[in-house]
Amino acid sequence: MTTTAVKPSAGTRTPRRTSRGYFVWLTVAGLLCAAMTAYVAVRYLPPDLDSTEGIARGLVHHVLLVAHILTATIAVAIGLAQFWPWLRNNHPRVHRLVGRLYLFAGVLPSAVFGVVVANLSLNGLAASAPLSLLSVLWFVTAVQGFRAARARDYRAHRVWMIRNFALTAAAITGRLWGLTLAVTIGGELVFATANWLSFVVNLLVAEWWIQRRGLKAA
């Protein structure tokens, strides 16, 4: 990569000095992603019907649910690496390879499985509606991010992928919200409320971060 004196355009990758706070965020997020990956490995591998007892209705629902969870875990496990400035700036080919794995082995299939699984949910419309919306938004932001990268509009690509990973992180924040709400208020709507909060709050934080970093809205 070469450095020029001209003002970078939207299609130019521009290294940005990374703050200590950003590395702290990466470290904390990385630990949460690792914990989530370990949890899924322990609970769902090898996959069997006992792992989804009480949340899946029959074999087909079980297979789709486990497929959704495992592909989502791929996205959780490798997605954060895309926000590592050193990797992005010094090894763009690796960044692109990891990005393709993130999208095509993780986000896109998991989002499709997610819509189907949500509509087969045993927890009713109140809980399934936010999960369906989450899956649709997850898919759309992934496609928009991929299209921006293909067009070499790297600024728009970054904006869309920040939004997308905020939705990916709902796999973690949903559990944190669920635990918090169960302990503090309880009740029948804990699961549904946690499902909404898991991605709505994440998206609000992502939009705040996009504005704070001075990235052009896409």
Confidence of residue 46 (pLDDT cuts 50, 70, 90): low
Total residues belonging to the chain: 218
CA distance 179 to 199: 15
pLDDT confidence of residue 163: 97
pLDDT confidence of residue 8: 43
Domain boundaries, the chain: 20-212
pLDDT per residue as tens digits for the range 166-185: 999 999 999 899 999 999 98
Instruction: Look at the block and give the residue holding tokens 């986000």.
Output: 107
pLDDT confidence of residue 1: 41
CA distance 158 to 144: 10
Q: Is it the case that residue 14 has pLDDT exceeding 60?
A: no
Are 83 and 164 within 8 A, CB to CB?
Answer: no
Helices 58-79, 92-101: axis angle to 10 degrees equals 170
